[in-house]
Chains A and B, each alone.
Chain A
Amino acid sequence: MGRPLTRREDARILNGRSEFLDDLHPPRLAHLAFVRSLYAHARVLSVSPPESASGLLAVLTASDLEGRTRPLPIQAPEGAEVADEPHPLLAGGEVRYVGQPVAAVVAESRALAEDAAELVEVEYEELDPVADPRASDLELLRWRRASGDVEDAFRSAATVAGGRYAMPRLVAAPMEARGALASHDAAGDLLTIWCSAQDTHRPLRHLGHVLGWPPERLRVVVPDVGGAFGSKGSLAPEAAVAAIAAIDVGRPVKWTEDRAENFVAAYQGRGMEADVELALAADGQMLAVRARILADLGAYLLPATAMPPHTAAMLMAGCYTMPAADVRVSGVRTHKVPTGPYRGAGRPEAAYFLERAVDDAARALAIDPVELRRRNLIADFPHRSPLGFTYDSGDYRRCLDLALELRGPSPSEGEERLVGTGLAMYVERAGGSFEEARATLEPDGRVVIHSSTSPHGQGHDTTFAQIAAERLHLDPADVVLEFGDSALVPAGTGTFGSRSVAVGGSAVARAVDELGKRCLQAAARLLDAPESEIAWCEGGLTAGDGRTLALLDVAAAGPLEATARFESDLVFGSGAYAATVEIERATCRLTVWRLAAVDDAGTIVNPLLAEGQVLGGVVQGLGESLAEEATYDDQAQPTSASFADYSLLTAAEIPPIRAAFVESPSPLNPLGAKGIGEGGAIGTPAAVANAVSDALGGRHVDPPFTEEKLWRAMHE
């Protein structure tokens, strides 16, 4: 534990022996392409497949799915009202976003499927699309929580400050787009689906719901996954269609999403705007926060669409001792692809909304923004926020001090450039629910662990091996991890929300501890000594009189296995991010001069991998600050639907980043861990935004901070 071990997972990848979804090629494989809507809103009058086409095997429309399938389920956050607007698998009478799947075409190759898809004639009757959430006619999500005497706080406040802050929609853009390969064994009545997914559990549950089948008839396998960042959490409607196609055609069917599809049809992130007001006393003490969050949810509620706005709302008291809060969420329909979780999934939004308001409040009160935060930081834990979360542990002051130290001095402003500094604190919810692990002592003396989590680049294999190895006094090389096959792994919740080490790792720890106990009991029997005299030593167990047994010997006496389920309340990571930016006056080019990232993720198991998560998250956060925005015109047509228009940052744009960890162990799990996958994406946009506003003398600009926007802010 705590060692920066390099990853065992690497060798296969470096030698070209990785196996991602599109690398799978079972015999008789058929390929799936979709006919997708060209209109943002239209009635579908008819769908006419061609009589024939080269290599064409089948065409499926909504009517072929009627009576056999249900739309994807909707997850309603606690206390929320959600509309009954689930995403249909294939569009029935209406299409509601450009790119919505209308028909599915199965053919001998992807190219032939695309050819045949062009021959499917769809008759549309155009309807008026709604692109602006403020012009929406339908609320899909409503939630409100109020606590404490908010009215009184605002009445008695010396200052009320805040503003309207917005984060545009983003594309998760993992390097590997989505995909699924379904294969139906009619004789055995088993449908196997390989999914480029974040875990086996949600696809299994969603597919079972869609088909109305029990889990025993389904098997979900997750191969190597090329990134997800939240966008592969829910089962894609297209994947469910692939399953039906495999059943109907009687051959394995693969859908490899291409980049054009991913840009228009994969659920997008962020897309929220908030009106925030902070009530403060004259000395800067925060009395209450009021926020109205408007979420541009898109055309339907996918399973997790309602979650990020709820998460954002629940975190609106931030790191501060805020006695009262009143937060409302309204998620509205627009004729765009739905939104869903994307790295941070509501936490970056909360940090941005609140931290911008705190800076605006500091300006209104003429108090230094760092000092204002210091006066309000929570110092005693556990802390119950007015919105209902109980923060388990933290050291916010230390994070703040360290971030400022790491940021260091700024360059001097001058004729040629403006300089600004900004800070953002964040607290995030992570963990929660349960995960399981099964640890087995194999005959060859190695320990094999089946974990319910599912890595897609985070390094669970190496990390969990470290946890297990330490507890059993083994070399990590003697610990084998297995993930990603629902037929083999135990039940769990999923890999998202920075929960895998805290919950999955804890399940591994518990299972391994239990296995260790059984090994000790077995050793006691074999050594004919009382259990109390058996102890662990390097590579085995030893009796009081010096006799030792290697684990191999214990294994020879018979297989040993232990399963553990770990469940806990939410854990709360936190951090402080500090940015220095320069705006070149002549061109309005924004450069982040330095970024300091301090994260408190509790106990860090592998600092090398944890830092990798932070750096990756920071760069995504920089991307959304500098360049990324999923844009639509007023007819809700996507206008940034390829890498030519939607720019991801390259290595050449990355500023110096100084990352450090503060470790406030969580009392809620045996590892003390909290989760690190999202911190970089949570703290960065808010810190950069505050730095930009500082450079502009307090003027507010929403991300991305394009030169056009900065020009307007500086000249109008």
Chain B
Amino acid sequence: MKPAPFEYAAPRSLDEALGLLGEDAKPLAGGQSLVPLLNFRLARPELLVDINGLSELARLRRDDGALRIGALTRQSALGRSELVAAEWPLLTQAVRFVGHPQIRNRGTVGGSVAHADPAAELPVALAALDARFVAQSPRGRRMLRAEELFLGPLTTALEPDELLVEIEVPPVPEGAGSAFVEHARTAGDFAIAGAAALVSGSGHAAIALLGARPTPVRAPDAERALVDGAEPREAAALAASSVEGGHRRALVAELVRRAIEEAVP
């Protein structure tokens, strides 16, 4: 399975990269999702824009209380970050489920988000954290919320000449606990279903679902119920209530329940 021919560019600056991107010119970051598509000839861009040289997009830091994840941050770097483990542990918990170390050594956080696979973990964890997604194009910079960014399976609001450059994650409420649980056929396989939970004793609850819909979704009814004192089982049933299929609904409910119980500090 060899890719169809394409031209290749490795721009040195973000502006140069944006000038090259378009309908038939796709960005190549970690390649863990794109290269299989190239090999199967399911993706056939005329030009591949290798953005791995844009080191300014790989910074991972705290700035003014918020976590700023450069889109090019490797998933393994996210997993090793002490800063993230200390203050945004939900991300550390979620990234452990992304494929295997060999995938995470190349795969990027931005790539996972921009590819928007319904089975992806990081979009779900970021949705639970109320993350904001920063995109840049020749027309300027804009910031999107998760529900604005993720439109459908493998579909985001990013324009062909627009690049996800950074993900901004607000600070997590004081004393909040978190958990990420997932259910897959085999270790490291694509997730069938999963849940991210962020719960604090002081009135904050965030629950995001993987596998309930083609995009990451929050469960506002369940979140409200939890804050109002509902048991994890009740809240989980609420979260799963709109999931189709007896088994899938039961599975999501079970995973949400476990996530809540693990998260509660």
Show the binding face of A for B, using Cβ within 8 Å: 110-111, 114-115, 118, 258-260, 586-589, 627, 642, 644, 647-653, 707-708, 711-712, 715
Given contacts A114-B41, A587-B254, 8 further A-B contacts (CB under 8 A): A259-B1, A586-B250, A587-B183, A588-B250, A588-B251, A652-B186, A711-B246, A711-B247
B201 to chain A, nearest CB (A): 26
User: Within the complex, which residue of A115, A642, A653 is in contact with B5, where a contact is CB–CB below 8 Å?
Assistant: A115
Could you tell me the distance between the alpha carbons of A565 and B232 in the complex, rounded to whole angstroms? 72
Smallest CB-CB separation from B255: which chain A residue?
Answer: A587
User: Within the complex, which residue of A258, A627, A651 is in contact with B185, where a contact is CB–CB below 8 Å?
Assistant: A627
Q: Is B221 at the interface (CB under 8 A from chain A)?
A: no
What is the size, in residues, of chain B's interface with A at 8 Å between Cβ atoms? Answer: 21
Contacts of B188 on A, CB cut-off 8 Å? Answer: 650
A605 to chain B, nearest CB (A): 34
Could you tell me the distance between the alpha carbons of A260 and B40 in the complex, rounded to whole angstroms? 8
Q: Is B231 at the interface (CB under 8 A from chain A)?
A: no
Interface string of B1-26 (1 = CB under 8 A from A): 11111000000000000000000000
A-B contact pairs, 14 of them (CB 8 A): A111-B5, A114-B2, A118-B4, A118-B41, A259-B1, A260-B40, A586-B250, A587-B183, A587-B251, A589-B183, A647-B189, A708-B247, A711-B247, A715-B246
Q: Is the CB of B247 within 8 A of A260?
A: no
Interface residues of B in 219-254 (CB under 8 A from A): 246-247, 250-251, 254
Could you tell me the distance between the alpha carbons of A653 and B185 in the complex, rounded to whole angstroms? 9
Question: Given A587-B251, A650-B188, are A258 and B183 neighbors across the interface (CB < 8 Å)?
Answer: no
Question: Given A586-B254, A587-B251, A711-B246, are A115 and B183 neighbors across the interface (CB < 8 Å)?
Answer: no
Could you tell me the distance between the alpha carbons of A115 and B254 in the complex, rounded to whole angstroms? 48
Smallest CB-CB separation from A588: which chain B residue?
Answer: B247
Could you tell me the distance between the alpha carbons of A711 and B250 in the complex, rounded to whole angstroms? 9
B99 to chain A, nearest CB (A): 11
Interface of A is mostly: helix
Smallest CB-CB separation from A710: which chain B residue?
Answer: B247
Question: Given A586-B254, A711-B246, are A648 and B186 neighbors across the interface (CB < 8 Å)?
Answer: yes
Could you tell me the distance between the alpha carbons of A653 and B41 in the complex, rounded to whole angstroms? 32
Question: Given A587-B251, A707-B251, A715-B246, are A644 and B2 neighbors across the interface (CB < 8 Å)?
Answer: no
Smallest CB-CB separation from B185: which chain A residue?
Answer: A647
Question: Given A260-B40, A587-B250, A588-B247, are A627 and B186 neighbors across the interface (CB < 8 Å)?
Answer: yes
B42 to chain A, nearest CB (A): 11
Could you tell me the distance between the alpha carbons of A524 and B209 in the complex, rounded to whole angstroms? 84
Smallest CB-CB separation from B258: which chain A residue?
Answer: A586
Could you tell me the distance between the alpha carbons of A711 and B255 in the complex, rounded to whole angstroms? 16
Contacts of B3 on A, CB cut-off 8 Å? Answer: 111
Contacts of B251 on A, CB cut-off 8 Å? Answer: 586-588, 707
Contacts of B183 on A, CB cut-off 8 Å? Answer: 587, 589
Smallest CB-CB separation from A653: which chain B residue?
Answer: B186
Interface string of B182-210 (1 = CB under 8 A from A): 01011111100000000000000000000
Could you tell me the distance between the alpha carbons of A648 and B188 in the complex, rounded to whole angstroms? 11
Contacts of A648 on B, CB cut-off 8 Å? Answer: 186
Could you tell me the distance between the alpha carbons of A111 and B4 in the complex, rounded to whole angstroms? 8
A646 to chain B, nearest CB (A): 10
Contacts of A712 on B, CB cut-off 8 Å? Answer: 246-247
B165 to chain A, nearest CB (A): 29
Smallest CB-CB separation from B254: which chain A residue?
Answer: A586
B30 to chain A, nearest CB (A): 17
Could you tell me the distance between the alpha carbons of A648 and B3 in the complex, rounded to whole angstroms? 25
Most buried by A among B4, B190, B250, B255: B250
User: Within the complex, which residue of B4, B36, B187, B247 is in contact with A707, where a contact is CB–CB below 8 Å?
Assistant: B247
Could you tell me the distance between the alpha carbons of A652 and B247 in the complex, rounded to whole angstroms? 24
Could you tell me the distance between the alpha carbons of A227 and B189 in the complex, rounded to whole angstroms? 23
Could you tell me the distance between the alpha carbons of A712 and B247 in the complex, rounded to whole angstroms? 8
Per CB-CB distance, the 8 closest pairs between chain A and chain B, nearest first, are A652-B187, A711-B247, A111-B2, A586-B254, A647-B185, A258-B1, A650-B187, A647-B186
A406 to chain B, nearest CB (A): 26
B37 to chain A, nearest CB (A): 11
Could you tell me the distance between the alpha carbons of A712 and B245 in the complex, rounded to whole angstroms? 11
User: Within the complex, which residue of B4, B187, B250 is in contact with A653, where a contact is CB–CB below 8 Å?
Assistant: B187
